[in-house]
């Protein structure tokens, strides 16, 4: 007995033109894909913060990102213009203001990155953090800082030109898991 199967004809070229190659749906992107990238606007990173306190405080430098997936990792990277005098230190830390938690990769709540030196000076202090917020709610990440008792600045100028970044920069990107 012979079985015959027939399928309606289709135009392959027509099917290919129906595909949208401009954007792959986020759900179809493989793990490890960068889902989005956010560059902090100048208004979020240009203010100068000045202190000589050894008590950690919010510097006013921040970035926001709204994850598209609950299980995504958020990477926050950038550089801060830090100044200190008298052989001091500028301690920097990232806080997720949305969750109220410090962001650390090593499980230690005492993780601070810092710029230091043997004399008074300015430093381009690189930072890099990873967070797994477990939410699609907008996340606000703040730079907190303090000094070991000497005068310290975050941001080059007290009065930066409008629209400039004051030698600070922050970006955040979401990576699908």
Q: How many CA atoms lie within 13 A of 124 on its CB side?
A: 8
Closest CA to 128 of 84, 56, 73: 73
Domain boundaries, the chain: 32-175
pLDDT of the chain, 177 residues: tens digit per residue: 788 877 777 777 777 677 666 677 888 889 999 999 999 999 999 989 999 998 999 999 999 999 999 999 999 999 999 988 887 788 888 999 999 999 976 555 556 776 655 567 888 888 889 999 999 999 999 999 988 778 899 998 888 888 888 899 999 999 999
The Cα–Cα gap between 148 and 55 comes to 9
Return the H-helix or E-strand segment holding 45: helix 42-45
The tokens 């005098």 sit on which residue? 85
The pLDDT value recorded for residue 88 is 76
Q: Could you tell me whether strands 73-84 and 169-175 are parallel, antiparallel, or unpaired per DSSP bridges?
A: antiparallel
Say whether 18 sits in a helix, a strand or coil.
Answer: helix
In DSSP terms, 84 is beta-bridged to 121, 152
CATH (one of 2.60.40.10, 1.10.260.40, 2.40.10.10, 2.60.120.760) for 32-175 = 2.60.120.760
Q: Could you tell me whether strands 139-147 and 57-65 are parallel, antiparallel, or unpaired per DSSP bridges?
A: antiparallel
Contact criterion met (CB below 8 Å) for 62 and 140: yes
């Amino acid at each position: 007995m012979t079985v015959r199967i027939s399928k309606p004809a289709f135009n392959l070229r027509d099917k290919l033109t129906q595909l949208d190659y401009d954007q792959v749906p986020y759900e179809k992107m493989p793990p490890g894909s960068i889902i989005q990238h956010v560059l902090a606007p100048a208004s979020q990173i240009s203010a100068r913060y000045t202190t000589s306190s050894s008590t950690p405080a919010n510097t006013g430098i921040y970035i926001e990102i709204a994850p598209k997936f609950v299980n995504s990792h958020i990477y926050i990277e950038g550089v801060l213009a830090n100044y200190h005098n008298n052989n001091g230190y500028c301690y920097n830390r990232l806080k997720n203001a949305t969750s109220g938690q410090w962001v650390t990769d090593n499980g230690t709540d005492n993780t601070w990155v810092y710029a230091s030196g043997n004399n008074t000076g300015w430093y381009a202090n690189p930072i890099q953090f990873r967070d797994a917020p477990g939410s699609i709610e907008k996340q606000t990440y703040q730079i907190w800082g303090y000094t070991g008792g000497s005068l310290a600045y975050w941001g080059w100028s007290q009065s930066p030109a409008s629209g400039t970044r004051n030698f600070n920069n922050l970006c955040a990107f979401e990576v699908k898991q």
